[in-house]
Structure 1
Amino acid sequence: MTIDLSATYTAPLIPDEPPRTFSTQVRERTTRDGERLITVRGLIPLLADRIDAITDQGDRTHALNALHGAVIVISDRYDAEWDDAPEAREGGRLRTTYRGGAAGITVHDVLVLAAALRTQLTA
């Protein structure tokens, strides 16, 4: 399965306001100490199927707002400080700023997406 990183999603963040178009941005950098980081912003288009499955408009709007600023970070380094963090897996190699709260979209769902992105982006 290939994730379409050029996909967009259009919806209002606030009811009765004009819709906005959301897109995904992927950035890669290497820190001074050699850690390779891939940062993925704009998760909304990547979770469009889950967002569309939310039938209540208020819950869908809440999901959009909860995901709007969320970020995925993919690292090539293990960091024991992330071992017990609910928003990370594999010692911080996969992590997110998303804390949950959106109907039908869990932190686990976002971390599954992070794993799929890592597979695609590091191939």
Structure 2
Amino acid sequence: MNIGDVSRRSGLPAKTIRYYEDIGLVTPPRSENGYRAFREMEVHKLAFLGRARELGFTIDDCRTLLALYENDGRESAQVKRVAEDHLLKIDEKLAQLQSMRGTLAHLIDECAGDHRPDCPILEDLAGEPT
């Protein structure tokens, strides 16, 4: 199977597939002419990686999850630990976004938005007291 077919089936762009190969996440065999000869196994791994990336897992997390997926002796606790760590990071990002939203909403409320030049939003961005 060529990279175009794999791209369509996995939902990943060819550039991403090449990148995943470059960093060792997938290793399709090469035909005699040097072209990648993807098998169903690589298509499945790429779809797995695509889904993991959609959920925001890092490349390192994906590497870990893929290794666990391929390990029949894995313990689900190992997988759960990776997912829980990722969920904590998501929660931290959500808290940061809520804080940013609160600050920006306050600054918007404080700005008159009229013809005058004074603006609490610009003052805050410049580090000036409002």
TM over 0.5: no
Tell me which of the two structures has the higher relative contact order, counting C-alpha pairs closer than 8 angstroms and 6 or more residues apart: 1
Larger helix share, 1 or 2: 2
Larger strand share, 1 or 2: 1
TM-score under structure 1 length normalisation: 0.27
Which of the two has higher C-alpha Rg? 2
